[in-house]
Structure 1
Amino acid sequence: MEKFSLPNAFDWEIAIVYADKDRYCRKHVWEDISRYHNMESPLLVGGDFNCIMSHEEKKGGKTFHFSPAANDMGEFMLDNDLIDLGFIGPAFTWTNNKDARSRIFSRLDRFLISSSILDSFQGLKVKHLTRLASDHCPILCIVKEDVRRNYSHWIKFEEVWASYPNA
């Protein structure tokens, strides 16, 4: 786990994962991150999780069933107050590169972040980039501090609204 800080901001902890296909090896990764994570610091975890969490994250192959491995990852997220940031771009980050009838697509790659800092970093975005030579899409997490929408406190009135009958 590494430390990361932005000017005029707090320190973050960052963990980059390449999780094993084996559920039990992957569970050790979740336990290690949890053990070394200081709950006072926001955490960003990104990489290849080798796990899908819902049927929307898979296309092709066997039907998705919520597995013990997905449950392990869900518990890891809950224990560390992590949420999935969502994404912009292609829905799936991995393919098995088989012919069209046997092709499988999954969202194995993602970024998770401590929910406590979302208000401070509304500009956080995750992009799934175009897959080129690999079976995985590259993913990009963009961090922008204090991107807030400015709302006008003025109420705008249109004259035409007065012509509507009262309800």
Structure 2
Amino acid sequence: MVVSSSEGETWLMTAIYASNQLDQQKRLWEELVGLGSLGLPWLVGGDFNAILSTEEKRSYARVTLGPKSSNFAKFVEEAGVCDLGCEGVPFTWCNNQTGHNQIWVRFDRAIANTDWVRKFPGSRVVHLDRSAIDHAPLLVVVQGESDSRRRPFRFELYWMEYQ
């Protein structure tokens, strides 16, 4: 989607619900690289069904990075995007099993190109608590440069001297 502000500035937002099939993911990443070449500030968020590092998965079995992770990392590099980090719970998906079968993964995230990050430097991503679903919802708080430069009000004691 194209997002426009009242000042006439535009940026792109792409919502992702990636397949867990390797060939379909690869095709999606290739299409997204093309979309990112439009030269606009760009935010991409949602369920990527892939991880970038072993720290993004917790399980009793040994965690390794496979072809899905490699393809996803290649997309991140070619598209010139970076992960916006997160606040809240570190993992966004659970297989809802217990004991040694339980798996936690950070499939959901928000990434953006440098133009978007420069335009909205105070932005942050919050992983909300999972309730009745297997994925944690994302809350992207978009804060522009002018918003982040606002200083909090401070009362100065010397003002009391004026009468």
TM range (shorter): 0.7 to 0.9
| Corresponding letter in the other structure for 1:92 | F
TM-score, length-normalised on structure 1?
A: 0.82
Q: CA deviation at 1:64?
A: 2.0
Structure 1 residue 68, shift from structure 2 partner: 2.0
Q: Give 1:24 deviation, angstroms.
A: 1.1
Corresponding residue for 1:48? 47
CA distance in 2 between counterparts of 1:109 and 1:140 reads 11
Show the 5 A alignment for 1:23-102.
23-102=22-101
Could you tell me which runs of 5 or more consecutive residues in structure 1 were left unpaired when the two chains were aligned.
152-167
Deviations 1:76-110 (A, max 9, x none): 11111100000110000000001123111000000
Give yes or no for the alignment of 1:103 onto 2:85.
Answer: no
How far apart in 1 are the matches of 2:67 and 2:109? 19
Cα distance in structure 1, aligned partners of 2:138 and 2:109: 7
Q: Equivalents in 1 of 2:8, 2:110: separation in Å?
A: 20
Moved over 4 A (4+): none
TM-score by length of 2: 0.84
Number of paired residues? 150
- State, as a whole percentage, how many aligned pairs show the same letter: 32
Summarize the Cα distance change of 1:138–1:101 in structure 2 as closer, same or farther, 3 Å threshold: same
1:150 Cα deviation after fit: 6.7
**Superposition CA RMSD, Å:** 1.8
SS at 1:119 equivalent: helix
